[in-house]
Each structure stands twice: as structure tokens, then as C-alpha cells.
Amino acid sequence: MGLRDQIGEALKQAMRDKDASRLSTLRLIMAAIKDRDIARRAEGGDGGDAGVGEEDILQILGKMVKQRQESARAYEEGGRLELAEAELSEIKVIEEYLPRQLDQAETAAAVDAAIADTGAASIRDMGKVMGALKARYTGQMDFGRVGPMVKARLG
């Protein structure tokens, strides 16, 4: 069962369970996926009837988590703890559909392997290394933190 189907089934179950907060988050996820489907069709891409693939869905979910983390941080700084809690509970639901995040040691090993696999020798090869990492580890690592790590290793 694909990720889109898993989310659809979870949405139906949340409706049956009358779990309003979970249902709301799952609807947001499905809306974001459908938006990407529509954008892909408008671009004339290969979206078609099948829609976006698993990798695109993982990117959507990762972006949603990052947005909610930033919102929660802003709410906490503004003293709006109830809104921050709502954002954090949405993050928990979204993360159920993301693969396990790599820890620091696993990320470092993945970066070293990508550098070796691509034959990167200088900072000019950073794009190749990041491309290899994104192809292999989408949804499993925060590329905002990985970029400086790759840069340090190549620089």
C-alpha cells in the first residue's frame, strides 16, 4: 500500500473515530498532495491520473513538519502555548508517515558514503553530493543541516 493510500485509509478511520484533530491534519496532508497533483498537471508533467509519487509526498510531508516547527517556535516565543501545542500535535500526526530520521552518526556516515560514491573532491562537487543524498535519503534527514556538513567535509 502506497503512502497516499495509507493516508487515505487513516483519514477514513479518523472520520469513523470522530477524532477531529487527527482528521483535520490528515485533510491538510491530502489537500497538499492534491495541490501538488494539480500543479504537476498544469506544468504538463507526468502527474496525470496517478498523481505525484512517493518521493514528492515525502517532500510535502517534510515541508509541512518544518512549517509547523517554525510556527510552534513563534507561538512559544509569543506566549501562545495552546497554539504551539496544536502545531506540535499536528507534527506528530504528519511524522507517522515519514521514514525514521537518521541520527547524527548515521547522517555523517551517509554524507561520507555519498562523497565517496560521487568522487567529490572539492566544494564544486557539493551539488552532486547533495543530489545523491536527496535521491537516497528524502524524508530521512534535514538537508538544511546536512548542507553545512557536506561543505565542511569538502572545503
39, 51 contact by CB (below 8 A): no
Task: Choose between 86 and 145: higher pLDDT.
Answer: 86
Q: What is the pLDDT of residue 47?
A: 47
Q: Do 18 and 69 sit in the same domain of this protein?
A: yes
The grid cell for 8 is 487515505
Q: Where in the sequence is the domain holding 123, given as residue range(s)?
A: 104-154
> How sure is the predictor about 80, in pLDDT bands with cuts at 50, 70 and 90?
very high
Report the C-alpha gap between 101 and 94 in whole angstroms. Answer: 13
Domain co-membership, 135 together with 68 = no
Domain check: are 23 and 46 in the same one?
Answer: yes
Q: What percent of the chain has pLDDT over 90?
A: 53
Q: Kindly report which listed range (92-101, 112-121, 138-147) carries the lowest average pLDDT score.
A: 138-147
Q: What is the pTM (predicted TM-score) of this model?
A: 0.74
pLDDT of 35 above 90: yes
Q: Label residues 82-118 b or e (16+ Cβ within 10 Å = b).
A: eebebbeebbebbbebbeeebeeeebeebbeebbeeb
Total structural domains within the chain: 2
Give the tens place of pLDDT for each residue, 45-65: 654 556 788 888 988 998 999
CATH code (residue 62):
1.10.1510.10
Q: Are residues 53 and 126 in the same domain?
A: no
Q: What is the pLDDT of residue 19?
A: 93
pLDDT for the residue 45: 60
